Structure 1
């Protein structure tokens, strides 16, 4: 049960963002820029970062949502699962492995990121912008994970919910004009 009253039809982060539209706006805009804006990393690769961080933070809602988004954007269901199990052996590029290693270190503590981790990413072909965005996406999802868990937002268990949510967030993170309609009572 959430620690504060939230819209019942909007579980997870969505209800929290609707609770405070003024604070939600800059967070949504930053997420839109980082995960859907121009980048040399694909939207699917950026969703892998979000899924890994959420998984390592043990935030079930965000893990399920961003795993599904990554699956949809990548067009398959194996890579995100493999990344969460062990990104070093996952079927991804060496550059993504190095960037996910930076994400894993950042998730523990920003101070855990070492010059060696950065050098590994650069040697694998990562740009400074990709390194920057990896750290910022990780920090943003640590914020989201703490937000969702700290206020005990509702975490649906139905996989169909995450299919619909994944489809929505593959299109972007900005609030739909007019908000989220309340479904009719059965």
Structure 2
């Protein structure tokens, strides 16, 4: 049960977006740009970065949601997401994505935890400056989203099918409400 009365029973971020539509709109727009906008990283790769950071932060709702969204858009689906979130150094993802996940993990530890060596390794693996930028921004944004969701004690359903159902909607329509 959330720590404050949200006036709705939607889980996680969904309930918070409905509680404060004026901030919900801005947060949804940010998610839309970061995770679905034009980019050389695929939507699935960006969702995987979001799920990985959320997993590291222990935010069950965001990890499950974005894991389902990534799985729906990546070859290998759920098993690739599970492997990347639990053991990114051996997961069946590209070397570039593996290096970007290391950058995302460093951001999660703190902005200054990202080192020139992390950035050089990502570049060496083929990441562009824009991809490195977007990885840092996705990781930083999800640290905020995770703290928002968990800081207000929102609920996270246990049934993976509910996240998969939501994934179909996100893949087809995105994060902006009609």
Specify the TM-score bucket, using the shorter chain as the normaliser: over 0.9
Is 2:91 the partner of 1:82?
no
Alignment of 1:122-133 (within 5 A): 122-133=123-134
Matched-pair contact (CA < 8 Å) for 2:8–2:18: no
**1:35 aligned partner:** 35
Is 2:170 the partner of 1:174?
no
Deviations 1:9-31 (A, max 9, x none): 41110010111111111111111
Between the two proteins, the alignment pairs up a number of residues equal to 176
**1:57 aligned partner:** 57
**Pairwise CA distance, 1:7:** 4.0
Is 2:157 the partner of 1:162?
no
Q: Secondary structure at the match of 2:63?
A: helix
TM-score by length of 2: 0.95
**1:184 aligned partner:** none
Alignment of 1:1-186 (within 5 A): 1-75=1-75, 76-171=77-172, 172-175=174-177, 177=178
Name which of structure 1's ranges 66-75 and 50-59 shifts more when overlaid on structure 2: 66-75
> What is the CA–CA distance in structure 1 between the aligned matches of 2:158 and 2:80, rounded to whole Å?
22
**Pairwise CA distance, 1:8:** 3.6
Q: Any stretches of 5+ residues in structure 2 without a counterpart? A: none
TM-score by length of 1: 0.91
Bigger-Rg structure (1/2): 1
**Pairwise CA distance, 1:51:** 0.6
Q: Secondary structure at the match of 2:93?
A: coil
> What is the CA–CA distance in structure 1 between the aligned matches of 2:108 and 2:166, rounded to whole Å?
24
For the aligned residues, what is the CA RMSD?
1.0
> What is the CA–CA distance in structure 2 between the aligned matches of 1:111 and 1:67, rounded to whole Å?
26
**Pairwise CA distance, 1:173:** 0.9
> What is the CA–CA distance in structure 2 between the aligned matches of 1:160 and 1:85, rounded to whole Å?
20
